[in-house]
Chain A
Amino acid sequence: GDSVTQMEGPVTLSEEAFLTINCTYTATGYPSLFWYVQYPGEGLQLLLKATKADDKGSNKGFEATYRKETTSFHLEKGSVQVSDSAVYFCALSRTGNQFYFGTGTSLTVIP
């Protein structure tokens, strides 16, 4: 069945460091891929998405490229800030509104 595997956390980085959070997926057909972010005590917020192969989603300095050949959708940011500290979830949706989420990666950015 459909599934998402993402990098285990927690991840701790210094401010202005480069961030990569790995995400790979298993799905038949052509899923849409998403990154969501969850701040403490809040629900999930959409960070970015890509709906077809080679699409690049980007928002707030974060980027991810839909790579069908490697079934990956890695999240990157060139220079993280303390305010980026949160839990990041990779997700896919293939049919309708049924989403499959990864287990989440906790990021802490220290000044």
Chain B
Amino acid sequence: KAGVTQTPRYLIKTRGQQVTLSCSPISGHRSVSWYQQTPGQGLQFLFEYFSETQRNKGNFPGRFSGRQFSNSRSEMNVSTLELGDSALYLCASSSAQGRGGTDTQYFGPGTRLTVL
């Protein structure tokens, strides 16, 4: 079974631009979560989508948004980029529906975003 894939792997943008990152979950997985990883803040939860609906949201400004398509693929968008948005953005998928917090998340390799 193919793993979680993320595209692109690397991106360089300038301040004020916007960016869209893509994630394809493991086949059959309906839940997709996004995380931001930085050396200073570690791994921080952005949001989770299940069946095209945002189910959980972390504490990030509205510049960060996402969506999920009917085939479970997900995109996240960051508008008006700031230098502090430079990070590794990780996508994770899981198969179950979030019952009782026991679902295992499987991570993609990440998209490295650099904002100049």
**Chain A residues in contact with chain B, CB under 8 A?**
31-32, 34, 36, 41-46, 49, 51, 89, 93-104
CB proximity of A78 to chain B, nearest CB, Å = 25
With A31-B101, A96-B98, A97-B56 known to touch, is A43 a contact of B33 (CB < 8 Å)?
no
Given contacts A32-B101, A43-B90, 5 further A-B contacts (CB under 8 A): A43-B110, A51-B100, A51-B102, A93-B101, A96-B56
Interface residues in B, total, Cβ within 8 A: 27
Does B75 interact with chain A (Cβ within 8 Å)? no
Task: Chain A residues near B31: list those with CB within 8 A.
Answer: 97
**Chain B residues in contact with chain A, CB under 8 A?**
4, 31, 33, 35, 42-43, 45, 48, 50, 55-56, 58, 90, 92, 94, 98, 100-110
Task: Chain B residues near A93: list those with CB within 8 A.
Answer: 101-103
Task: Chain A residues near B4: list those with CB within 8 A.
Answer: 43
A98 touches B45 (CB 8 A): yes
